[in-house]
Amino acid sequence: MVKKYFIKTFGCQMNVYDSNRMAVMLEEMGLKKTQNQRDADVVIFNTCHIREKAAEKVFSDLGRAYLIKQEREIDGKDTIIGVTGCVVQAEDKEILKRAPYVDFALGPLRYFRLKEVVEEVFNEREKQLLDTEFSAVSKFDFLPENKSESGCSYLAIQEGCNNFCTYCVVPYTRGVEVSRPVEDVLHEARRLVQTGSLELNLLGQNVNSYHGEDASGRERNLAYLLNKIAEIDGLQRIRYTTSYPADVDDDLIRCHKEISKLMPYLHLPIQSGSDAILKKMNRRHTRDDYLRVVDKLKEANPNIGMSSDFIVGFPGETDEDFQQTLDVVNRVKYIQAFSFKYSRRPGTPAAVMDGQIEEKVKKERLQILQDLLFSYQTKFNKDSVGKVMSVLFENKGRHKGQLVGRTPYMQNLHAEADSSLLNKIVDVRVTDASTNSLSGEVL
């Protein structure tokens, strides 16, 4: 019988990318994907440690996986349970103590060993394998060739972060910044396009600090890479995420004017609008630095839509600090954004700072911020009604005969469309809009 695998992905786009690469490895081993965890011989949870909630959720999922494993055993079926991702890196040996039925645990820089590890577990059932080494080798050198899963693919060009924002676990879970060489990225980009991708989203924890070497050993920046990738025939859309405001240089801003394939949407997290808080966060930019970058981007491409991440209730945040955040939102008028209550992460400097904010206050501030953000997002979406937008259809919709895709601005759009339009870019007239999605008719 063909063995099946099930991967559940938590957290960011980098995890989605990593999960896809693990899927390719398992397929090469002859396993087939299943959406039903009960059918799976290999179950993998690719985890996120960014906020407490995400990290804790994994353990309830693991508990459930163990129950399913026991039920399958009654039917004489074996199940391998694996955990990968940032929780593994952060919890290390603890994860095997807390979930002793886990067969293997691989950190985000070590999953290139997946094949050998799964094989070893298949052969020697009782072992609990753990690998959280912060290796000097690049995992990308050991992964099999990537292939496109749909019309839109992620491509990791950089990993890790040297910024050490005081709230953030990333430098501890993904390690220091590493940029992949230019030729490696181009090779993977071409392959993804050859296998069906029309859109590439270049990923990195701090993507615009990219400084990979070209074939002659010279360091190249993100702008150089974007220009090279834009030359790939058949590729129609390019995005990159997530950017750090202090590392947006003029070359990159020029790309938004000159590269027509670059989508008019940029996720540029500010986190807080208060200089005092930004300083405590160890961000290398002020509120004005940030607003200047946004102005330059809008000058380069007047149609650009901005997105951001925000944290409310960071230690010491006063009402005035919070007002400054609202003020930035009113200036930039984000078309989309993510906002979070500050979550104390063990081992990070902010976790032990004075002035921790009460949950009640965090909750109130988050509500106020989200109401404001949603009002701008809704307005942007409503203003789209009547316009014709190019949409890349990525999935089947909830209703029969419907497809769901994305506009250049990352808005979700659903329309009645034949499934032959799946993974194609099509002109659609927007007919209706709400806070989170658009509907339209295919032209």
What is the Cα 185 distance to its own chain's centre?
Answer: 18
The helix (H) or strand (E) run that includes residue 382 is helix 359-383
3-state class (DSSP) for residue 264: coil
Instruction: By CB under 6 A, name the one of 23, 118, 168, 222 that touches ligand 5AD.
Output: 168
Q: Which does 51 bind (CB under 5 to 8 A by kind): ligand 5AD, ligand SF4, none?
A: ligand 5AD
Amino acid at residue number 150: S
Residue 6 in contact with ligand 5AD, rule: CB under 6 A: no
Q: Which does 340 bind (CB under 5 to 8 A by kind): ligand SF4, ligand 5AD, none?
A: ligand 5AD
* Nearest residue (beta carbon) to ligand 5AD: 309
Q: Which two tokens stand for residue 9?
A: 């992905």
Measured from the CB atom, is 224 or 314 closer to ligand SF4? Answer: 314
Q: Which does 345 bind (CB under 5 to 8 A by kind): ligand SF4, ligand 5AD, none?
A: ligand 5AD
Q: Closest approach of Cβ 51 to ligand 5AD, in Å?
A: 5
Q: What is the DSSP string of 290-352?
A: HHHHHHHHHHH-TT-EEEEEEEES-TT--HHHHHHHHHHHHHH--SEEEEEE----TTSGGGG
The dihedral region occupied by 361, where left means phi > 0, alpha psi between -120 and 50, and beta the remainder, is: alpha
Cβ distance 221 to 211 under 8 Å?
Answer: yes
What is the Cα 370 distance to its own chain's centre?
Answer: 21
Q: Closest approach of Cβ 177 to ligand SF4, in Å?
A: 9
Q: Closest approach of Cβ 205 to ligand SF4, in Å?
A: 4
Residue 167 in contact with ligand 5AD, rule: CB under 6 A: yes
* Residue 233: burial class (beta carbons within 10 Å; 0-12, 13-18, 19+): exposed
Residue 239 in contact with ligand 5AD, rule: CB under 6 A: no
Instruction: By CB under 6 A, name the one of 154, 240, 322, 342 that touches ligand 5AD.
Output: 342
Q: Closest approach of Cβ 373 to ligand 5AD, in Å?
A: 13
3-state class (DSSP) for residue 253: helix
Q: Closest approach of Cβ 373 to ligand SF4, in Å?
A: 18
Q: Which does 277 bind (CB under 5 to 8 A by kind): ligand SF4, ligand 5AD, none?
A: none
Amino acid at residue number 323: Q
Residues that bind ligand SF4 (CB under 6 A): 161, 163-165, 168, 170-171, 205-206, 244
| Rounded-to-integer distance, Cα 163 and Cα 244, Å | 9
Instruction: Tell me the CA end-to-end span of the chain in Å, nearest whole number.
Output: 46
Q: Which does 171 bind (CB under 5 to 8 A by kind): ligand SF4, ligand 5AD, none?
A: ligand SF4
3-state class (DSSP) for residue 59: helix
Q: Which does 240 bind (CB under 5 to 8 A by kind): ligand SF4, ligand 5AD, none?
A: none
Measured from the CB atom, is 133 or 164 closer to ligand SF4? Answer: 164
How many residues bind to ligand 5AD according to rule CB under 6 A? 12
Instruction: By CB under 6 A, name the one of 173, 206, 343, 384 that touches ligand 5AD.
Output: 343
Cβ distance 258 to 231 under 8 Å?
Answer: no
Q: Closest approach of Cβ 282 to ligand 5AD, in Å?
A: 12
Part in contact with ligand 5AD (CB under 6 A); list of ranges 34-42, 179-187, 190-198, 341-349: 341-349
- Give the count of beta carbons closer than 10 Å to the beta carbon of residue 431: 13
Q: Give me Rg for the CA atoms of the chain.
A: 22
Part in contact with ligand 5AD (CB under 6 A); list of ranges 154-162, 255-263, 335-343, 402-410: 335-343
| Rounded-to-integer distance, Cα 87 and Cα 427, Å | 41
| Rounded-to-integer distance, Cα 322 and Cα 361, Å | 11
Measured from the CB atom, is 161 or 225 closer to ligand SF4? Answer: 161
Measured from the CB atom, is 69 or 267 closer to ligand SF4? Answer: 267
What residues line the site for ligand 5AD (CB under 6 A)?
50-51, 167-168, 269, 271, 309, 311, 340, 342-343, 345
